[in-house]
Structure 1
Amino acid sequence: MSRNLTTDLKNRLTAATTTPCFLWRADFDSFTLRLWSGAGDLTWDSQTWLGNGWLQGFDGASEQVEVASTGASVKLAGVPQDIISLILNAKHGAPGKFYLGALDTDGDIIADPYLVFSGLLDIPTILDDPGSPEITITYESLLVDLDRSREFRYNTESQKTQYPSDRGFEYASSAALWTGTWSNKKVDVRKKKPVAKSKRGAKK
């Protein structure tokens, strides 16, 4: 992780006493939610991050030597019902980011928080407790696309999904079923013999 930390943040996190914090940004269909793990509003990246107690925990992100897709999740509590409905109906694949930061002795954020995880919305689930409903939002790593099978086929239908006006594969399917003979000579299909070409200027 240290390879991407700013010097100020690294020094603060490795100090004898430190005040770490987490920040979460979620881009939903109709709104963007920015929360952080502390109390009160926090200003960073020219944006306001709410410290209203909704953000309860963050789990799942870790560095690995091999290239692999890993997920992460965030737990929320005390969220109003209208926000819960928007989250539960959010589009699959909406982006989300998690940051690790630290506060200085004045309680201000130290530039710049470290991007721990960036992924795509997978499944939001809710623990329906009437007193205090909890939501767990799971994200897929951006590398999850490496695990998906590719369904592209070499035919005109697949080609037109990417290049609508391209006709390069228009006859690919029929060519695969063709049983004729490739030749630069005309062939009498009935006798399957080459037909002699007439020569210009030949005497009758």
Structure 2
Amino acid sequence: MQYFKEINSFLSSSSFFYTIAIGLDSRYSYVSDNYNRNFALSEKSLLGKHFSTTLHPDDIVICAEAGMKCLQNPGVLIPAKLRKHDGEGGFVITQWEMQGIFSEKNEPEGVFCIGYNITELVSAQTEIETKNMKLSEISFIQSHGVRKPLANIIGISHLLADIEVGPDVRQLHEKLIASANDLDMVIKEIASKAE
């Protein structure tokens, strides 16, 4: 228990980390100031409240299962990603590591948890995944949708090279070949950057 008191003392005024302890009665037995600031909403303190008070309804089971694992596996850190009320009708995403608290007689007393807000990280990861999907689609369109008509244009322009035409048409033909080759180079460069 002294170990958890030292950690709480160290993190008591952290503005990044939340520290809490939940007793065997499923109620908060310790709540850091930062946790209260972010999740107590209209309450002064969450101390003594049921742990589910701050959670998204779908995450209550995840949290309860993680707590049980902590009590079944002394000394093991159990991770959990949980959504917490943000006070504005929405939720923030938090990442937690939890560990069982045991008495000197090795009897379970509760669960100690340390967490932090990962909402921005999750949002950035989602944005990156969305952009990667768009890049994949662009790459597919470029390689299958654009390359075929361009190859046809280049092929036709090479066939035109064998036809006798006047100097004006020949000059247009040369510009057509040059433009098609330029476009082909641009598409190849785009493809190499999309890989």
TM-score normalised over the length of structure 2? 0.32
Q: Which has the higher helix share?
A: 2
Higher strand fraction (1 or 2): 1
TM-score (norm: length of structure 1):
0.31
